[in-house]
Amino acid sequence: MTTSDSEEDSYDERSALMSAETPPVPSYQPEQSDPDPSAQGPVLRRAKSSERGPGPEAELDEEEELTLKYGAKHVIMLFIPVTLCMVVVVATIKSIGFYTEKTNQRLIYTPFSEDEVSVGRRLLNSFLNSIVMISVIVVMTIFLVMLYKYRCYKFIHGWLILSSLMLLFWFSYLYLGELFKNYNLAMDFPTVGVLIWNFGAVGMICIHWKGPLQLQQAYLIIISALMALVFIKYLPEWSTWVILGAISIYDLVAVLSPKGPLRMLVETAQERNEPIFPALIYSSGMAWMVGMANPAEERRQQSDAEAQEAGGSLEAEDSPDPSAGAQRGCPSGEDQEEESGVKLGLGDFIFYSVLVGKAAATGGDWNTTLACFVAILIGLCLTLLLLAIFKKALPALPISIAFGLVFYFSTDYLVQPFMDNLATNQYYI
Amino acid sequence: MNLERVSNEEKLGLCRKYYLGGYAFLPFLWLVNVVWFFQEAFIKPAYTEQLQIKAYVKWSGLGLAIWVAVLTTWITIYQHYRAQWGEVGDYLSFTIPLGIP
């Protein structure tokens, strides 16, 4: 079973979205073997669909129709966690000043400062920063893929455990401290100790071992939000935008090109029939379709290959290892039990939240934030649609980030002044 | 993970491990145990391991109640008397509110 037991952070590099395939399940056969009424049906529908092209309502074959039907449900199943993550990040940014304070500290991944006078120099520095960051990410990803290829599982597990330890304990401790300071509450060390210890330990158990699915999903969302907040605080402004763009391009390349590291990871995992480290992937709910066999007796391991995400964890001040987010849906297994659920890499969560959070922190007002939010959801929707059509691992970052960036800049610089002018001059359209 | 797909022995093992883990100052683990296995223990029709699972859930619930009582008492005492404790109060404090109450 693909319980996510593994580490969480896998942000960056690749976000591959993989669809859950509709299995040709025995339970569907009655519908499919419906001869007469649907005999003309499929022909008509196919003709219609060829005119309209693939779309959510396109009625292709029964199988593909089932796949697309799943698509709608899965879209909702992914909208909710992505929305939650972004809501947490935006709420924190808007209420707690700490994450938007100017700081001279920078991550070692963005060594070039942006305190330059001239625009050209600042732009150059942000491009250089993004080159440094992306190359670190590429190196880390390739390192992880090598480790995976040569079966150094212990190393990978240790790395992931260390990174999730840091996230769950240290970052949440800092977050809690800022929260209390912001609301001017007194809190004592023993209580804080108990709180953080409980939060962290149960998080480790849920993510790396076994735990209730919803709790695990909640923890993955929380750590993605924490990571996104760290990024928002410590990445300089212009560099953030350039990095977002660059990482989407990298994601595209890494997942789709034949020699891309993420694709190699996916294929290796598929060859070995192993699940990818679940801690790096968010898996939306599971719908188990049981065939004839008794599940208790014949529970078999998922023969679905699941994409594994290479990821490392990012540490704020010391030496973050960028983690890749890969998203994968799990193809349905042939045998008795199949799990149908879409998986989205944590990196995707993190970068979506970084985009929306940065828009909330530096953009004009709520217009910009909402526009970016809507853009990302639309991008996610389109990506899932493509996933339903292509049925293989896809990068989830490019479309959403592209839309998000376009919407951010256009809203901030075009729509916002337009609306303000309209309001000032009392002109209603 | 989904409890539906897991055998009864594994459920028992899981419940037991969560119960034992809670002794490491982890009342949250006990809470998760109670919530997660509540349906298994009390609502589902009986099966062999259910008695033991029920016992674990009950003891987890008891432990959780004790922890909640202790924490609530301590937090109340601390919030009320913090200012009066002077130096000890500051030493215990993670964050100290600013301004005059």
pLDDT in tens, B30-67: 999 999 999 888 888 888 888 999 999 999 999 999 99
Whether A296 has a pLDDT exceeding 70, the answer reads no
Q: CA–CA distance from A339 to each of A78, A127, A232, A285 (Å)?
A: 16, 43, 35, 9
Closest Cα in chain A to B23:
A198
Q: Are B94 and A1 within 8 A, CB to CB?
A: no
Of the candidates A383, A106, A341, the one whose C-alpha atom is nearest the C-alpha of residue A213 is A341
Identify whether the C-beta of residue A407 lies closer than 8 Å to the C-beta of residue A363. Answer: no
Tell me the residue ranges of DSSP E strands in A309-354.
337-340, 343-345
Please tell me which of the candidates B1, B32, B92 has its beta carbon nearest to residue A188.
B92
pLDDT band at A229 (very low <50, low <70, confident <90, very high): very high
Query: Is the CB of A202 inside 8 Å of chain B's CB atoms?
Result: yes
Question: Whole-angstrom distance between the N-terminal and C-terminal Cα of chain B?
Answer: 48
For B78-96, what is the mean pLDDT? 81
Q: Which one is predicted more confidently, A65 or A5? A: A65
For A174-202, what is the mean pLDDT? 92
Q: How high does pLDDT run on average in chain A? A: 75
Q: How high does pLDDT run on average in chain B? A: 88
Q: What pLDDT shows up at residue A63?
A: 57
Q: Please, is A423 exposed, middle or buried when counting C-beta atoms within 10 Å of its C-beta (0-12, 13-18, 19+)?
A: exposed
Nearest-CA distance from A207 to chain B in Å?
10
Q: Taking CB atoms and an 8 Å cut-off, how many pairs form between chains A and B?
A: 82
Instruction: Copy the structure tokens of residue B72.
Output: 């609530």
Identify whether the C-beta of residue A262 lies closer than 8 Å to the C-beta of residue A250. Answer: no
**Residues of A noted as catalytic:** 251, 348
A107 sits in the region (left: phi over 0; alpha: psi -120 to 50; else beta) called beta
A119-149 helix and A237-256 helix, angle to the nearest 10 degrees: 40
Tell me the residue ranges of DSSP E strands in A126-208.
187-188
Q: Which residues of B touch A177 (CB under 8 A)?
A: 94-95
For A393-406, what is the mean pLDDT? 93
Whether A407 has a pLDDT exceeding 60, the answer reads yes
Contacts of A22 (CB under 8 A, 6+ apart): A63, A66, A67, A69, A70, A332, A340
Beta bridge partners, A339, equal: A288
Q: What pLDDT shows up at residue A301?
A: 27
DSSP state of B72: H
Query: Is the CB of A288 inside 8 Å of chain B's CB atoms?
Result: yes
Beta bridge partners, A410, equal: none
For A240-269, what is the mean pLDDT? 90
Query: Is the CB of B92 inside 8 Å of chain A's CB atoms?
Result: yes
Whether A20 has a pLDDT exceeding 80, the answer reads no
Q: Are B1 and A212 within 8 A, CB to CB?
A: yes
Q: What pLDDT shows up at residue A58?
A: 47
DSSP B30-64: HHHHHHHHHIIIIISPP-TTHHHHHHHHHHHHHHH
Query: Is the CB of A199 inside 8 Å of chain B's CB atoms?
Result: yes
* pTM for the full predicted model: 0.77
Q: Are B79 and A286 within 8 A, CB to CB?
A: no
Whether A5 has a pLDDT exceeding 70, the answer reads no
Q: Are B2 and A288 within 8 A, CB to CB?
A: yes
